[in-house]
Structure 1
Amino acid sequence: MKTIITAKIRLHTTPEQFAALRATQLAYRDALNYVSQYAFAHGNMSNAARLQDGTYDEIRVRFHLPSQMTCSVSRQVGATYKGLWTKVKANTAARKAGVTKKRYKGLDHAPTFVSPTLTYQNRKDYTFKNNQQVSILTLEGRVIIPYTGYRKHVERIHHGAEIGAAKLWYDKPKKTFYLLVSLELQMADPTPETQTGIAGVDVGVRYLAVTSSTRGTCTFYSGKQIVPKANHYARLRKRLQKKGTRSATRRLVAMSGRERRLKRDANHRVSKSIVTAHPHSFIGVEHLADIRERTRRRTGKNTSKKQRKANHAYSKWSFAELQSLIAYKALLQGSMAIKVDAHYTSQACPMCGHTAPENRPRHGLLFVCKKCHYTLHADLVGARNITMRTLVVRQDWTTTGLLSVAPDGSSDEAKAARLQRYADLRWSLEPSPVSLD
């Protein structure tokens, strides 16, 4: 099994090398915007080959980019337009179904590329040398720059990892260049025998994650310190954008990315703690497709302030990012993450199987089963239900030899069959009886 990680290495440049890299970055960004305008003028073209045919010569003459870098520009713009076309088609389908009345306007004007980050291709635009040096292509030719980075990442660059494309990123506050290198690692294929533990992870806002295992252990990762800070940055950014003065703009530039970095740092720490606590385990996470639509409170003129606040909070936290970090870090620890159905995980009683919204009084953190009166923290109930569903997937894997890393969404019948099977699950730490025959 292969997994891809990103190694962040710091480039120690001289003033001349710094100027050459910066000039290359800005020329690459200008070329992106030129090709974007060309694509928009030709019917929002997304085909990278046609974009390259129509703009290659002009980019070489006007922006003086090397040939391979010029090809990367066309591919990047084509990928951007393909993503916008996907959103347009999804919006059209949603409007026909009556889900929304708003029209997606992403292709009403040419996308503008603001970030000067550029893409390098391995062995064509950049090459790693001995003594922790890297050769990088610029408008003025190649420059050889020493670098430093995380020890394990540097070791993998020199031994065992397959090196892919890289991005040259400029940290403006520190006035430092970084190279973000894609590394493909070969991992041992997991088997039911190597995955000795079972764990389930329930994600949320009040508690960023709650874990439960078949051994009865559980862990709560509170968002009490993180979420208020993130909300503060969001409110401050909104006020400054509304003000619109030059001083407000300078303040926005100074604090740009703080909310994003705060959330990503929290997700990194939580995901690392989870996979470290469950080595060589089968880790189940919720399949969160369309989760915002399923969990959305009432909308419209009659919506209460509390409901609007809940919708806003759940729409801003990065649940999918946390799950993706758990997935790739689990592989590095010899574990494996899979997705299971998220439906009714916080409404189903793990002891008797009774499922009803009334089991969560006022959508609070207390779970009280209306049938057997089982009482527990609601997020822990969700984590236990996810653990049991993960155990079912592992049992199917052991029996059939086939592993499904995500629920089958091909038909409503398959989904109904899975939910009916989950309704028969019961939480118990007692070992299963063993036949003596």
Structure 2
Amino acid sequence: MKTVLTAKLKLNATPEQFKALRTMQLAYRDALNYVSTYAFEHGKISNAVRLQEGTYDEIRLRFHLPSQMACSVPRQVGATYKALWTKVKNNAAHLKAKKTKKRHKGLDKAPTFLSPTLTYQYKKDYTFKKEQQVSILTLEGRVKVPYTGYDKHVALIQRGAEIGASKLWYDKPKKQFYLLVSLEVETADPTPETHKQVVGVDVGMRYLAVTATMQGNCTFHADISTVAKSRHYARLRKRLQKKGTRSATRRLVAISGRERRLKANANHVVSKRIVTHYSQSLIGLEHLTDIREQTKRRKGKSAKQRKANRAFSKWSFAELHSMIAYKALLHRSMAIKVDANSTSQACPKCGHTCKENRPNHGLLFVCKNCQYMLHADLVGARNIAMRTLLIRQDWIGTGVLSVRPDVSDDEAKAARLKRYAELRWSSDTSPRL
């Protein structure tokens, strides 16, 4: 089994090489915007082959891009249009079902590419040389640039890891180029015998993650400083945008990305703690597709509701899930998705499910049927652990592992939820390591 990692390499370019790389980036971005305009004017095309046939010669002539780069541009634009078409179709379905009143406007005008980040294909646009050097293609030919990076990633590159495409990224505040290289690393194939422990992970706003095992062990992962700092940056950004002066704009550019990096660092720390603490485990995560649309407050426009929607829009649960998934494979574990329906409203002891089990949507869970009391996030983690255990038992019986629930089939989902309702939490239902 293969795991994909991203190696961030710092390029130590000379002034001449820096200028060549920057010129290449800007030409690539201009080509993206040209192809995007062409696709929009010709019926919002998302087919990469048709886009390449219509724009390849003009890309080579106007922007002087090499042949491989001229092929990468239509593919990237086509992928962007496909993603936008998917959002438009999903939005139309939500409008029809009256789940939302807001129409998606992503295809009302041609998408504009602002970031100058470009894509390189391995062995065609860039190759690695000896003495920690990389040969990169520019408009003026190839240049050899020394690089530095994380020791383990550099060792993987030099010792035969499977190398894929990369992105040339420019850090504007630091005026520094980085090469983001995708690496495929071999990991052991998972079997039910290798994963002898089951862990449920409940992610949320108050606590970044809460874990629970079938033996009753649990951990709470919170980062109060991240919440406080993100709110500080939100207030600062609001004041600077309202001021609107040139100095305020410069300040906005300077602080751009800080909140994103802050949350990414917190997610890295939490995910590493989870996978190192629960090695050789089957880790269950909630399938939270369309969770923002389901939890969005639509009635009224009070300041409290706007604040709640703003907080949910910044919830980076998908990033945390992806970090847990790839780091688990490196620690001989594996992450799978389970249904998220009523995980924090179902009693793990008697199975009674209702909204009243969460008084005032607080952190206390009180079952209306058996009066079972527990932390609400821990209840969610235990329910996820039980559902993960059920998937593991099916894996042992059938030899097939379901890593993601099929939400397209309503009958299959109803059958799964019926089985989940019969689960009862017990500390003796999962084998110990």
Give the TM interval when normalised to the shorter protein.
over 0.9
Alignment partners' CA distance in 1, 2:406 and 2:83: 24
What does 1:41-56 align with in structure 2 at a 5 Å threshold? Answer: 41-56=41-56
Partner of 1:323: 321
Q: Deviations over 1:83-121 (max 9, x none)?
A: 111122222222233333332221121111111111100
Between 1:395-404 and 1:419-428, the stretch displaced more is: 419-428
Q: Is the counterpart of residue 391 in structure 1 residue 389 in structure 2?
A: yes
Partner of 1:310: 308
Q: Is the counterpart of residue 357 in structure 1 residue 355 in structure 2?
A: yes
> Using a 3 Å threshold, how does the CA distance of structure 1 residues 100 and 294 change in structure 2: closer, same or farther?
closer
Question: Per-residue deviation at 1:233?
Answer: 1.5
Q: Is the counterpart of residue 402 in structure 1 residue 404 in structure 2?
A: no
Partner of 1:280: 280
> Using a 3 Å threshold, how does the CA distance of structure 1 residues 411 and 131 change in structure 2: closer, same or farther?
same
Alignment partners' CA distance in 2, 1:90 and 1:341: 20
Q: Which amino acid aligns with 1:347?
A: Q
Alignment partners' CA distance in 2, 1:292 and 1:16: 47
Q: Which amino acid aligns with 1:221?
A: H
Q: SS state of the match for residue 313, structure 2?
A: helix
> Using a 3 Å threshold, how does the CA distance of structure 1 residues 133 and 320 change in structure 2: closer, same or farther?
same
> Using a 3 Å threshold, how does the CA distance of structure 1 residues 38 and 371 change in structure 2: closer, same or farther?
same
Query: Are the counterparts in 2 of residues 200 and 213 from structure 1 also a CA contact under 8 Å?
Result: yes
Alignment partners' CA distance in 2, 1:432 and 1:252: 51
Task: Identify which of 336, 339, 350 aligns with 1:338.
Answer: 336
Task: Identify which of 363, 367, 391 aligns with 1:369.
Answer: 367
> Using a 3 Å threshold, how does the CA distance of structure 1 residues 324 and 291 change in structure 2: closer, same or farther?
same
Q: Deviations over 1:55-83 (max 9, x none)?
A: 22222122111111111111111111111
Partner of 1:166: 166
> Using a 3 Å threshold, how does the CA distance of structure 1 residues 221 and 231 change in structure 2: closer, same or farther?
same
Alignment partners' CA distance in 2, 1:307 and 1:92: 24
> Using a 3 Å threshold, how does the CA distance of structure 1 residues 393 and 140 change in structure 2: closer, same or farther?
same
Question: Per-residue deviation at 1:307?
Answer: 4.3
Which ranges in structure 1 are unaligned for 5 or more consecutive residues? none
Partner of 2:105: 105
Query: Are the counterparts in 2 of residues 396 and 402 from structure 1 also a CA contact under 8 Å?
Result: yes
Which ranges in structure 2 are unaligned for 5 or more consecutive residues? none
Q: SS state of the match for residue 225, structure 1?
A: helix
Aligned length, in residue pairs: 431
Question: Per-residue deviation at 1:247?
Answer: 2.0
Partner of 1:300: 299
Q: Which amino acid aligns with 1:300?
A: K
Q: Deviations over 1:262-300 (max 9, x none)?
A: 111111111111111111100001010222233344x22
Alignment partners' CA distance in 2, 1:338 and 1:121: 31
Q: SS state of the match for residue 224, structure 2?
A: coil
Query: Are the counterparts in 2 of residues 348 and 355 from structure 1 also a CA contact under 8 Å?
Result: yes
> Using a 3 Å threshold, how does the CA distance of structure 1 residues 374 and 305 change in structure 2: closer, same or farther?
farther
Partner of 1:141: 141
Task: Identify which of 352, 370, 380 aligns with 2:378.
Answer: 380
Query: Are the counterparts in 1 of residues 87 and 104 from structure 2 also a CA contact under 8 Å?
Result: yes
Alignment partners' CA distance in 2, 1:114 and 1:221: 36
Query: Are the counterparts in 1 of residues 366 and 373 from structure 2 also a CA contact under 8 Å?
Result: yes
Q: Deviations over 1:147-193 (max 9, x none)?
A: 11111111111223211110001112222111000112222210000
Question: Per-residue deviation at 1:304?
Answer: 5.7
Alignment partners' CA distance in 2, 1:12 and 1:42: 42
> Using a 3 Å threshold, how does the CA distance of structure 1 residues 432 and 238 change in structure 2: closer, same or farther?
closer
Between 1:57-66 and 1:280-289, the stretch displaced more is: 57-66
Question: Per-residue deviation at 1:219?
Answer: 0.8
Percent identity reads 74
Question: Per-residue deviation at 1:234?
Answer: 2.3
Query: Are the counterparts in 1 of residues 134 and 144 from structure 2 also a CA contact under 8 Å?
Result: yes
Partner of 1:124: 124
Alignment partners' CA distance in 2, 1:304 and 1:173: 37
Query: Are the counterparts in 1 of residues 214 and 429 from structure 2 also a CA contact under 8 Å?
Result: no
What does 1:16-165 align with in structure 2 at a 5 Å threshold? Answer: 16-165=16-165
Question: TM-score if structure 2 supplies the norm length?
Answer: 0.95
Between 1:211-220 and 1:410-419, the stretch displaced more is: 410-419
Q: Which amino acid aligns with 2:177?
A: F
Question: Per-residue deviation at 1:51?
Answer: 1.6
Partner of 2:260: 260
Alignment partners' CA distance in 2, 1:152 and 1:163: 14
Q: Which amino acid aligns with 1:279?
A: S
